[in-house]
Structure 1
Amino acid sequence: MAIERSRMDDPPPAVDADERAELERLRREVAELRMDRDFLKKAAAFFAAENSQQNKRTR
């Protein structure tokens, strides 16, 4: 743990323009994937609830 803490305290290494551009692209991709995941979670919950209601009606 002390090693991890010391690494976090060290200043980040300098990144060149290509690395910075890739980092920005990856951050945008992560944000988009998180939005997709959240949408799919909501869609799955919606269809599960709808399916549950249909099962109750057919009994």
Structure 2
Amino acid sequence: MAGKRRSYDAEFRAGAVRIVTETGKSAAEVARDLGVHESTLQNWVHRARTRADAEAAGGLSESERDELRRLRDENARQRKEIAELGMERDVLKRSVVLWVKEATK
């Protein structure tokens, strides 16, 4: 029977990755010290390095992607609102034209 899957918070993962990258110890050694499976720690280190490489190459960080997604959603909502306001304005213009025609008869 398989054991219960453990979860680690982001702070713990970041600390473990920092130990590997800053001390020069192998991932296997740090994993044994922390009681984490070696491949799990290697995955964390790989993801951290990939993220760092993307940021260094001018890519967007995770928080920047979140902000971009939020801004795009807000932009779409505002475009929809502008289109609705434009339609309302057109209806009002037509109403004024009809009202003027009726008033000048």
TM range, normalised to the smaller chain? 0.7 to 0.9
* Identity over aligned pairs, percent: 25
Match of 1:16 in 2: 61
What TM-score does the superposition give when structure 1 sets the normalisation length? 0.75
For the aligned residue pairs, the C-alpha RMSD in angstroms reads 1.3
Moved over 6 A (4+): none
Which of structures 1 and 2 has the bigger CA Rg?
2
CA distance in 2, matches of 1:13, 1:49: 51
Give the superposition deviation at 1:13.
3.0
Is the helix fraction higher in 1 or 2? Answer: 1
- 47, 62, 77: which one pairs with 1:32? 77
The answer for unaligned runs of 5 or more in structure 2 is 1-56
Q: Does 1:54 align with 2:84?
A: no
> Unpaired segments of 5 or more residues in structure 1?
1-11
Task: Name the count of aligned residue pairs.
Answer: 48
TM-score (norm 2): 0.44
User: CA offsets, 1:13-59, max 9 Å, x none?
Assistant: 32111000000000001101100110111100000001110110011
